[in-house]
Amino acid sequence: MTTLVKDKLYNFRTNAAHLEEAKAIMKKQDVELSAIFNEVIEQIILTKKSPIKSKEEIEAELFLDELDKTLNSRLDKILAGEYMTESEVRERLGL
């Protein structure tokens, strides 16, 4: 694998609070924020597009993950015999 020389230092403007929060998150994962920036740049070059997902895409993925967990949990209960029959539902709802 080729090691790229990191030979240029760049400054950029960002929200200070967000930057500190991002640094803290990456520190817990033992990853330097500059390494993340370099990976993003390499992914842009490789894929010819942004690797960053929009807020809406991330929220949709989180929603779908939660929905999948819920459905799998319910399916596990059904397969274990934990469910109500149609007549039990009708009786419970007074139909």
pTM for this predicted structure: 0.52
Task: Find the DSSP H helices in 1-95.
Answer: 16-28, 33-47, 55-79, 86-93
pLDDT tens string, the chain, 95 residues long: the values are 566 677 888 888 999 999 999 999 999 999 999 899 999 999 999 999 999 999 999 999 999 999 999 999 999 999 999 988 999 999 999 99
Residues 6+ apart with CB under 8 A from 6: 38
What amino acid is encoded at 66 in this protein? E
pLDDT for the residue numbered 2 = 60
Domain spans of the chain, in order of start: 1-51, 53-95
